[in-house]
Amino acid sequence: MLSAYIALTASAFTSATILPGTSEAAFAAFLYRYPQEVWGAWLAAGLANGLGSMVSYGMGRLVPDRKRPSEKVLRRFERWGVWLLLFAWVPVVGDALPIAAGWLRLDPLKCSLMLLAGKFIRYGVILAGIKALV
């Protein structure tokens, strides 16, 4: 079971970075194989996915000032601030949000809290969907 947790954690982590990943499938497969490990899987996936997003945030802080996020992203952050990071789990565009937040030098603690909240909500919704199907 340890190797399954490692695989789930790795998938969740990489899925939150610019690397490709399939954490939803890994999460569902883990729960199919180990249905008694619901809370452990939810915790591992949420934390790893949140940590992956914080790595992306850190990468954003390293982006030179002359490389700006798109005007659309800037307008959204001006309007919503760190709350926008609750949606960093959205496929494709979600990966750019933590990078933009880092580039904008938004508060790292607030960003990490929003990222983690969004990721735990994400896996909670997936978990609810799996439970509804079973």
Could you tell me the CA-to-CA distances from 127 to 16, 91, 131 in Å, in that order? Answer: 18, 18, 6
Number of domains in the chain: 1
- Is the pTM of the predicted complex or chain greater than 0.85? yes
Q: Within 10 Å of residue 128's Cβ, how many Cβ atoms?
A: 10
Q: Rounded CA gap, 73 and 102, in Å? A: 13
pLDDT at 50: 96
Mean pLDDT of 8-12: 95
Quote the domain boundaries for residue 76.
2-133
Q: Are 73 and 97 in contact (CB under 8 A)?
A: yes
Residue 67 has pLDDT above 90, yes or no: no
pLDDT at 22: 85
